[in-house]
Structure 1
Amino acid sequence: MLTKYLPNRLMKIVSSLLQNYEISRIGIFALFFTCGLTLTLVISACSANNTGNSVATQTANQGVVVRIGYQKAATILSALKNRGNLGQTLTTAGASVTWAEFPAGPPMLEAMNAGSIDFGYTGESPPIFAQAGGTPLLYVAYDPWSPKAEAIIVPKASPIKTVADLKGKKVAFAKGSNTNYLVVKAVEAAGLKYSDIQPAHLTPADARAAFTAGNVDAWAIWDPYLAAVEHDTKVRKLTDATNLAPNRGYYLARQEFVKSHPDLLKTLLDEVSIVNKWATNNPEEVAKFLEPELGIPAAALEIAEKRRKYGVLPLTDEVITQQQNIADTFYKIKLVPKQIQVKDIVWNGNKS
């Protein structure tokens, strides 16, 4: 394959040397010279080809703006924004990036439905509601997170001792969130129906205020807000998500963006992977970084960081099946209006 880069005259010299080779200083010098020249020509040809590809990529991406939605509490995208490396990488590729902050996953995916963002990260429940509502999104990777990183809590002095005691009680959680699913599975495991509790659909900030004031009986919440209330207040866990919910996170992208710019999506996922490795190896640094962002003490954030897992992983059949179970559960209790198939919106481009 490499001989196509060599002129005919040079090929004749190489053939002659190989056919009439004698161990001599002249023969060795000539052979080395020829090999060196051959390698130089090949490297030059490959470099020219790579340069051409790079220029073509920059031209194709010229003027493209990658619009990312993020939540401050979603460590990786928040860190990716503040570290600034992604902007430099996209500039090299001919594109640029903008960021939009959201208080939770559902409004972020509403923005994706409106065509306002191209990429984001949420817990396991928001993409199910979004798919049922017709949002043109794709699952592009998942984050293992941890079932220990979400829980249903009550004040330490509460008479509520078990999940079964939540019958007739007011439980706060964000509608359509990962903790929404945790509540469903927890009450079912305790022998209750979802209709046996009084859901209070509140954002994390509003739920904490209601919980502290005693206006709700229990609160289902995820890290780092869970770690923060554990650090600041005397609370007791009724259960975490162990054996109830996988509590994964998902990287999601707008279908049209994936179709038009798969190279930029892969670049984005590569940069996310780099930040993931940094976060995995530096929980104390992550806590210090998030403290001013979230207004949560670093000591609490460090607890949250040490009990979670990071990753940018391709979706497996097992992961898709478990996500489908969540979708089926929400349909069964009429939280989503129609049955969906998660596998229909899974991107396979990151499998290698």
Structure 2
Amino acid sequence: MRDLFNWRIQSLALTGLLTLSAWSQAAQPAPDALRIGYQKGSVSMVLAKSHQFLEKRYPDTQISWVEFPAGPQMLEALNVGSIDLGSTGDIPPIFAQAAGADLVYVGVEPAKPKAEVILVPKDSAIKTVADLKGHKVAFQKGSSSHNLLLRALQQAGLKFTDIQPVYLTPADARAAFQQNNVDAWAIWDPYYSAALLQGGVRVLKDGTSLKQTGSFYLAARPYAEKNGEFIQGVLDTFSQADALTQSHRQESITLLAKTMGLPEPVIASYLDHRPPTVIAPVNEATAVLQQQTADLFYENRLVPKKIDIRTRIWHPTSLQGAKS
């Protein structure tokens, strides 16, 4: 059965790579190396890594993978030159740009609003977001959950200063939440699904009614400018890997569970929260929404200065004529 699955995946990969757009036919040579930063919940990246799609497509490029606990740590590594490409939520690049990092947005996945939530204990007296006033809320500072929380508070008529923020990594936040050292936890999948299936929690709010831009793919500007066509090929490969969660759902669940070290029901729940999507260049509508998010964080004194998102948006040369 496993051999059959491997054959099907290899056939799918070969078919996909042969039908890629003109980027794969370009004369620009692939670079000698690509260092990719990824997170445990980066489904498309984890699947691409597990199936060695990039290694097979670019046999002359040394592909290396570095796992990070969250986006802020990943972009710190990207800024100092430890990796070349990474994927994060919407907020880490805002913090990185405000800190002076010369990173560029090379692609975006549409928002998956059901894959990020604010959790409270099942028997908590907190019934609405407005009830968070005065309470301790754990989350990773500078992460997409930071944005989820800020926008949820704004929607409920509260200010960020109305709560007691507790800045913790996902693993530390989970421990604090389970030990009742905090009252709520803003977190993304698969941590969310793991907590949900463990029991004793309740979803206070997800991102369904909030403005979220999605997940971004970022690169160091010099690397992107030198390897534009290659980057587009890499992003195409990630999109194809993500599609496996629908076309080969159970096989993908089994593989992701093994790779992430999580039970299959957790992975199944996670995939239920995030339908597969295609990575695309950052368009004007996405840029406007991301700028609004950056302005919101500045207005709440969460970043030290105003930034201009458009100065960090990179467009592949082949799409310059179609750029809106």
Superposition TM-score, scaled by structure 2 size? 0.86
Give the alignment of 1:75-154 within 5 angstroms: 75-91=43-59, 94-154=60-120
Equivalent in 114, 139, 156 of residue 173 of structure 1: 139
Determine if contact 1:171/1:220 at 8 Å carries over to the other structure: yes
Equivalent in 209, 224, 227 of residue 243 of structure 1: 209
Higher helix share: 1
> In 2, distance between residues paired with 1:202 and 1:248?
22
> 1:340 aligned to 2:307?
yes
Q: Residue in 1 aligned with 2:273?
A: 307
Change in CA separation of 1:278 and 1:145 when aligned onto 2, cut-off 3 Å: farther
| SS of aligned partner of 2:58 | helix
| SS of aligned partner of 2:158 | coil
> In 2, distance between residues paired with 1:272 and 1:61?
17
> In 2, distance between residues paired with 1:90 and 1:222?
32
Residue 329 of structure 1 and its aligned partner are, at CA, apart by: 0.8
> In 2, distance between residues paired with 1:281 and 1:274?
10
Structure 2 unaligned residues grouped into runs of 5+: 1-24
Residue 181 of structure 1 and its aligned partner are, at CA, apart by: 0.8
Residue 61 of structure 1 and its aligned partner are, at CA, apart by: 4.3
Residue 247 of structure 1 and its aligned partner are, at CA, apart by: 5.4
> In 2, distance between residues paired with 1:280 and 1:139?
27
Determine if contact 1:283/1:306 at 8 Å carries over to the other structure: no
> 1:65 aligned to 2:26?
no
Equivalent in 42, 47, 53 of residue 74 of structure 1: 42
Q: Residue in 1 aligned with 2:175?
A: 209
Aligned length in residues: 294
**Which one scores higher on RCO, CA 8 angstroms, separation ≥ 6?**
2
> In 2, distance between residues paired with 1:293 and 1:158?
34
Give the aligned residue type for 2:39: Q
Determine if contact 2:71/2:87 at 8 Å carries over to the other structure: yes
Structure having the higher Rg? 1
**1:91-140 Cα deviation digits (max 9, x unpaired):** 2xx32211111111111111111011111110111011111111111111
Determine if contact 2:148/2:210 at 8 Å carries over to the other structure: yes
Determine if contact 1:150/1:247 at 8 Å carries over to the other structure: no
Give the share of equivalent positions with the same residue, in percent.
43
Q: Residue in 1 aligned with 2:189?
A: 223
CA root-mean-square deviation: 1.7
Give the aligned residue type for 2:301: K
> In 1, distance between residues paired with 2:213 and 2:270?
14
Determine if contact 2:213/2:290 at 8 Å carries over to the other structure: no
Give the aligned residue type for 1:239: K
> In 2, distance between residues paired with 1:81 and 1:334?
38
Give the aligned residue type for 2:243: K
| SS of aligned partner of 2:114 | helix
Q: Residue in 1 aligned with 2:152?
A: 186
